[in-house]
Amino acid sequence: MQHFLTLLALVGWLGLASSGLAQPRIGVDAGKTRIVFSLPQSATYAVVKGPNRLVLRFRGTPGRSGSGVVNSAQVSAWRVEPSSGGSTYTVGLKPGTQHRTFELSAPRRLVLDISGGGTSSAASRAQPTVRPRPSRPPAPIVVLDPGHGGVDPGAVGYVQEHAVTLDVALRVRSLLQARGIRVVMTRSANRHLSADKRTDLGMRAEMGNSRRNVFVSIHANAATSIAQGIEVYYFGDTLDARLLSKAILENGGGSVGQRLTREARAVAQSLLRDLLAQANLKFSEELARAVLRNMIRQTGAVNRGVQTAPFYVIRTPRIPSILIEVGFVNHPEEGRNLGTAAYRQKLATGIAEGIVGFLGDSVASR
């Protein structure tokens, strides 16, 4: 199954069973993508516009799950999830698009027309006149955030966290750029963005704005007891004391880390009421699982799983965002491995492959 980036090309069917809410039909014509939902008479719906996406919430229909990508100039990808009384679709929009909805009767149908955003290849083939060939869709943009740096070295063991995270991030950058992906680094040397931790983390987080596609913060672990392995996080609250302690450390440690963790937890609670944010957090979870799966395959490290925690740097879910702990710097074996170029390259390859797999057709078509 292909994954979300900036939802990519709707051709065919979105995949709902015919009972209650029929499969929507999707067509691409000159400068427009049309999605048609057949609705039971008793169904209700709401359409909410967000940054680079539309959310359609249906009530009085079966709950469905699924996701996929498209191939038009207007739409990038979609995801459907069960919601209270029905299903919720999140449809990714390309920049510069507009939409309108209207109903048809006998039988009842909801029509979603999305226009603008350039001209799809299918549309250009349908035109009898000679027109300029559409330009290639813009390259995906990935933000890489090597944790710590400058006044904050991070965890210290057989290696220092700030050095490991930067070296791994630079290797990931090279691998992604070789696939035609644009990369933005929050830092590319041993420096901080601000000596004030809250400002530093805030500046890093702001780089994950809606004009970009993926935000990946890279960190390394330390433990008071023997522990090893890789774990990946997406944003959310937790009652696990260990994870809260980890969040406090990564959020600056001490009283600063405690304050920023409290703020992040408050954000996590507020996002529970934000439909758009919740949809995007699901994409963050997919990204986390894709990255972890590939890192474990490359390294053979202990798999410590995907979890949620209130990390301040990924608290604003404008785009899919994750935080990776690549290993424990004070583990006798893993710490030494983190000091070698060969192992760091394996980590970087796993991260890059996970990102590329998540982005799917937006990379493969380049």
Q: Please report the pLDDT score of residue 69 as a whole number.
A: 65
Which residue in 238, 228, 216, 240 sits closest to 303, CA to CA? 228
Q: Please report the pLDDT score of residue 56 as a whole number.
A: 85
Q: What percent of the chain has pLDDT over 70?
A: 83
Q: Please report the pLDDT score of residue 59 as a whole number.
A: 84
Kindly report which listed range (167-181, 247-261, 323-337, 338-352) carries the lowest average pLDDT score. 247-261
Q: Please report the pLDDT score of residue 332 as a whole number.
A: 95
Place of tokens 């710590």: 148
Tell me the per-residue pLDDT of 97-133, one tens digit each, with 9 for 90 and over: 888 888 887 677 888 889 887 544 444 344 444 444 4
Tell me the per-residue pLDDT of 215-241, one tens digit each, with 9 for 90 and over: 999 999 999 888 999 999 999 888 888
DSSP string, 191-260: --S-SSHHHHHHHHHHTS-TTSSEEEEEEEE--SS----EEEEEE-----HHHHHHHHHHTTSHHHHHHH
CB-CB contact of 33 with 10 (8 Å): yes
Q: Please report the pLDDT score of residue 179 as a whole number.
A: 94
Q: Please report the pLDDT score of residue 12 as a whole number.
A: 31
Residue 206 tokens read as: 């702001």
The reported pTM is: 0.65
CB-CB contact of 317 with 208 (8 Å): no
Q: How does strand 182-185 pair with strand 141-146?
A: parallel
Q: In what order do the strands lie in the sheet with 230-235?
A: 182-185, 141-146, 214-221, 321-328, 230-235, 303-309
